[in-house]
Structure 1
């Protein structure tokens, strides 16, 4: 058998397949480490700097050795890139065809039953709805996958409509559904069980892990290897998946589905509709009360009393839900559909109990609830038209190690941002990995010292001062004039973003401001425009790839420390302090360093890119922790103002 590393050398399979292929010694090192993990059935945490080619580095070894593999990445976009672009190239390099499946969450697939329910409740469609239904029916007759991304432009613009034609775990009838044999979700999951390679995202992987823990169901097949790409996202997604939660949408959908089944199966029972309407009204009242308190926010449930009206609305909702549950139970025996609705309501009740009981939005406590409250945090989060309450584990402890042992022989965690300095401790601890897990850090092949420079603006006010943003804008405008725009301005808050946008609106630059258009449209317009400056917050700090001369400057307003007012951060800090560790050193600094590395990574995307990286937060120069944050960045030269402008003149 050909050595896998031979595929990565000049004249190997990849150089024949990819015209732009370049030999990268770091990639060979990564492939060897992955091969070792596969052959020894061990695990690996590997940081592969931008440009290493991490996707090929794990695809070729796993497929060459005929391993059954589940590949999980952060987003559906990256899923599709791996499945439709990278995997076919690897098949070509290996001269072999691999059975593979792209598997998404059920909310991405058309549901025949939910669609029938929607049509049954839509007594009179308006012209727009009728047109959508007509187009949808034509597509349903033709599609093989039922994946709504095939009609993304048509569906994505109407989230409410999409919800009506897709299922959730709560409302799916499973084998009792009259359309079970035609179910697109079941078909693609059956295909996945027969595939050598299954490409999923982290949320779906976690949904499968949680299901497997119950012992009653599974989504993904048994596998030899799990590859976690973009692994830096996994701790947060795993924490959310291990949480118990209930949302306003779940309660409203339960109420509306109950009304529909009731009218069909038990419409002669007086008073029940009023009970359901009371539930829907109570959800709306709590949502409105939260929005009145603050447009967007989150609070520990135990501290909800500070919002008097919201606390009262919460108490009413709990009482009304209890009455709804009692009334529904009395009707459940009338039909199988009512039984299913009742089972769904009881599951929701169990979740409510799990989320709320230990916080005591009332004041009752016992030893068990005190213990659970100490190990978890219950949070109520809300936006203008939505709220959710969830109880999250503060630390994953040994739970993830148990998952790894039960799930696959080898786990590979790969990303461009897993270390802080030379240490992987933050990632390992946040996921609860074994302390002795193998690690590897492979630096980017790019020559950052020649391709880019870093400049920290030395004389700006402190970021918490009212004149910080005006001073930042004044300082960067001359730089932007020299770079002719071609810049991302990345902010840690919408407040700073909007203030900067207003100050720059009369400048000569073509501004693209997050929120004015969808992200993909902003990126496309930015790349097609001259003298362009894009202003964005955290969603633009990663996952955005603008190679070439169109992006030559990245400006970051301040150190992206997490907010101490975030309930999860507050509880994680308490946990760290209780174990004798500094929350600032073990939480705030690593989180900020990771996000800084991601933001800085937007600048240099190829061997031919050049650019300047500007920071507005001079704490990176004046504070003792500044050096640690600078060392987390790509190894570009740190220069003063004169050298910065010289570099721009000579290089950009």
Structure 2
């Protein structure tokens, strides 16, 4: 303890005394700045409390500032709460002091700390690495400098130096990953400030980690490049949980699996516990019972915390300079920070202020998925089984464990859990008839959207009645669990099962809340509440309940764009007709003063190396069987010419199946291998397609992007239909209604630009290297017969467009594939 006047000038001490007096001598918290000598330069009261405590509102505080609060008792010893708050604020560079009411005495818990000013990146030095004779050409003799890559690097440097949000549309072949990794590496070496890189696909993560990062380290070898620590952050479900594994082994007679012993042996030798390191592909249902699960994690109370694979991975990420992750994990982290954890704490990802988002065209979709709330019958079964699972005379789960270890009775638990299971089954049984004729259905919908002879009032009556019964059964279970939780002795607080019980109470409260929200959907116009019919791995039909934000832009603005010092967003497909206005509006960047956009054209010579063909004698896709029959013959004819080497993209699995079943026997006769999406794991399917260079892959939605088959594997790409989303999708309908309600045109503001961006992704599958060449055929005649068709053509790279009859087009395809295109 020191004299207050050693750090607090008289005029500020007077202000503090007056403010405390006006608060009736209760606790007051001041946010203060300091001068160069460490004396307080200003003080502002931001919170008032009672005789024993005062809130510490962190949004009022900044790095380098000091919070000062008074102890009315005159005793300046910090309480446990004081120390805890001070420790948290210290990690943000904020100091914590205590004074008495007269401001004569001062106790300093922590001093403020202001990080040194950032060292700006030297653009010329970094650009030189990509110029002729520069570092990259010395490492890779075949490297060809590209002006678009240099342009993008310049924009990324601006983002870091000027704290901007930079959006870079970089066409295929620009080399965008090196254009952002070189500035990112320079930044972490100069400023020791972490950079997070988020991608949508595993393929890009692998490219960054296995190819690009080693190159960047070598480029910066003389300035410490070898010291750049890069970590791949994965979701917790990718890691083995030793506690859950042991529990399952102990119950092996009840839940035994053939692979369980193999996982046990692997667990004894693995250093990572990462599923990808397993020497075999585990059964998904088995892995789900032994992986790290937030619903079953007792965290600090876990007896195996010291050897926890997830904690080891997060500790490694906390010490990394560059963290590579996926969009879903990024948004999970942002959501928790948005709820009050702030930007300077480790949540799922370690704290960061510099963010790069690759494959940024997926941002809206990923955010929509993450910020939705959902549950289904199997969600409820999972929670119920974690509480109590029983067969014959053996029981496992939280309830039996606490009955044994803490003497908790849980009287009537079995009946309540069975009631929940029965009620959720009744809920499914009552709603599935409404989904017989279509897979999904939204509430608050036009009655015409309901299938068959069903009435909107009939759906709501059944839904509300059954949801109410199920919700009550969940609340009854929560009440029992909460009462028993309150009765637990404090001496048992370190028991891991108690923490798990608390988690289960919260999860069931969440299910009950969603039920209540569905019943009051009309009060939440910002959300769309919808049902869809799904099938379990065993083939059982069930109803999935989802509440989705109609607009994610405001969420992203608050959780991401307003929080980070610099953000780079990049993709090959962000614009429609040279404008990114559609994408800006969807992600919440339409009127952001920090935004800088630049488009970098692909260096590939599309006009000489790619033919874009449209058969003008194709029937309309709306003609149904006529179009399907024509498409089968046309695809087979083109495959005869290409001798395989083809990817056929569809927008529906039914059309895919029809064409595949027609073409397969004919292709087999010609010795051409056929692959169909759904017949094997996606990665294995792609690997087989790339190896069997004369093969044909028939695929739908997920194969429109994120696949890379350069060279001979892919010479012919057929797009069977313009990728408009199904107009009855609940989220699309809700967003359409929102646009109409403000006087907009949903087709031109939403459906069309979304389809154009999807087509650009599909088109981009063909040419992956400068030496590639081939043919893209769009068989949907709307691209030439509808006025809006020009939007698709004009948004694609400048390939040579040929609109001809199928016969003449066949000749063009043959010439492109078998003659020298440069002649």
Both structures adopt the same fold (TM-score exceeding 0.5): yes
1:463 equivalent to 2:653? Answer: no
Map 1:182-581; keep pairs closer than 5 Å: 182-216=307-341, 218-259=347-388, 260-266=397-403, 270-287=411-428, 293-294=435-436, 297-301=439-443, 306=459, 314-332=467-485, 333-334=487-488, 339-360=498-519, 370-371=522-523, 373-385=524-536, 387-404=543-560, 407-436=563-592, 437-465=595-623, 466-508=625-667, 509-529=672-692, 531-581=694-744
Q: Closer, same or farther in 2 for the Cα pair 1:306/1:145, shift >3 Å?
A: same
Shift in Å at residue 85 of structure 1?
2.6
Q: Closer, same or farther in 2 for the Cα pair 1:308/1:529, shift >3 Å?
A: farther
Q: Distance in 2 between matches of 1:64 and 1:121?
A: 52
1:99 equivalent to 2:229? Answer: yes
Q: Distance in 2 between matches of 1:93 and 1:287?
A: 59
* C-alpha contact (below 8 Å) 2:474/2:512 kept by paired residues: no
Q: Closer, same or farther in 2 for the Cα pair 1:418/1:153, shift >3 Å?
A: farther
Q: Distance in 2 between matches of 1:554 and 1:310?
A: 45
Q: Closer, same or farther in 2 for the Cα pair 1:120/1:250, shift >3 Å?
A: farther
Stretch of structure 1 that moved more, 632-641 or 300-309? 300-309
Q: Distance in 1 between matches of 2:165 and 2:385?
A: 47
Shift in Å at residue 556 of structure 1?
0.7
* C-alpha contact (below 8 Å) 1:244/1:351 kept by paired residues: no
1:176 equivalent to 2:309? Answer: no
Q: Distance in 2 between matches of 1:225 and 1:20?
A: 32
* C-alpha contact (below 8 Å) 1:5/1:31 kept by paired residues: yes
Larger helix percent: 1
Q: Deviations over 1:206-256 (max 9, x none)?
A: 111111112247122222310001111111111222223334343222100
Shift in Å at residue 480 of structure 1?
1.6
Q: Closer, same or farther in 2 for the Cα pair 1:295/1:530, shift >3 Å?
A: farther
Q: Distance in 1 between matches of 2:153 and 2:696?
A: 38
Map 1:32-71; keep pairs closer than 5 Å: 32-66=154-188, 67-71=193-197
* C-alpha contact (below 8 Å) 2:646/2:696 kept by paired residues: yes
* C-alpha contact (below 8 Å) 1:470/1:503 kept by paired residues: no
Q: Distance in 1 between matches of 2:720 and 2:767?
A: 19
Q: Distance in 2 between matches of 1:644 and 1:76?
A: 33
Q: Closer, same or farther in 2 for the Cα pair 1:296/1:219, shift >3 Å?
A: farther
Shift in Å at residue 381 of structure 1?
3.1
* C-alpha contact (below 8 Å) 2:468/2:515 kept by paired residues: no
Stretch of structure 1 that moved more, 627-636 or 459-468? 459-468
* 3-state DSSP of counterpart to 1:433: coil
Shift in Å at residue 64 of structure 1?
1.4
Shift in Å at residue 19 of structure 1?
4.3
* C-alpha contact (below 8 Å) 2:581/2:590 kept by paired residues: no
Shift in Å at residue 341 of structure 1?
4.6
1:148 equivalent to 2:278? Answer: no
Count residues in correspondence: 639
Match among 766, 778, 781 for residue 603 of structure 1 = 766
* C-alpha contact (below 8 Å) 1:494/1:537 kept by paired residues: yes
For 1:646, the equivalent position in structure 2 comes to 815
Shift in Å at residue 396 of structure 1?
2.4
1:583 equivalent to 2:746? Answer: yes
Extract unaligned runs of 5+ from structure 1: none
Shift in Å at residue 278 of structure 1?
2.8
Q: Distance in 2 between matches of 1:234 and 1:620?
A: 27
Q: Distance in 1 between matches of 2:525 and 2:150?
A: 46
1:30 equivalent to 2:186? Answer: no
Q: Closer, same or farther in 2 for the Cα pair 1:109/1:406, shift >3 Å?
A: farther
Q: Deviations over 1:542-566 (max 9, x none)?
A: 1111101221100011111111110
Q: Distance in 2 between matches of 1:616 and 1:230?
A: 27
Q: Distance in 2 between matches of 1:514 and 1:529?
A: 16
* 3-state DSSP of counterpart to 2:713: coil
1:74 equivalent to 2:216? Answer: no
Q: Closer, same or farther in 2 for the Cα pair 1:406/1:218, shift >3 Å?
A: farther
TM value normalised by structure 2: 0.73
Q: Distance in 2 between matches of 1:401 and 1:307?
A: 35
* C-alpha contact (below 8 Å) 2:153/2:179 kept by paired residues: yes
Which structure would you say has the larger RCO, counting Cα contacts within 8 Å and 6 or more residues apart? 1
Q: Distance in 2 between matches of 1:247 and 1:270?
A: 27
Q: Deviations over 1:244-298 (max 9, x none)?
A: 3334343222100111222232386553212212323444454566666449822
* 3-state DSSP of counterpart to 1:134: helix
Shift in Å at residue 485 of structure 1?
1.6
1:11 equivalent to 2:133? Answer: yes
For 2:88, the equivalent position in structure 1 comes to none
Match among 614, 617, 637 for residue 780 of structure 2 = 617
Query: Who wins on radius of gyration, i.e. which is larger?
Result: 2
* C-alpha contact (below 8 Å) 1:354/1:391 kept by paired residues: no
Q: Distance in 2 between matches of 1:196 and 1:370?
A: 47
Match among 261, 264, 276 for residue 134 of structure 1 = 261
Say what the alpha-carbon RMSD is for the aligned residues. 2.5
Q: Distance in 1 between matches of 2:739 and 2:304?
A: 50
TM value normalised by structure 1: 0.92
* C-alpha contact (below 8 Å) 1:80/1:102 kept by paired residues: no
Q: Deviations over 1:279-319 (max 9, x none)?
A: 23444454566666449822224568549987765454323
Stretch of structure 1 that moved more, 375-384 or 602-611? 375-384
Q: Deviations over 1:143-180 (max 9, x none)?
A: 2222111016332xx11111111122232211122212
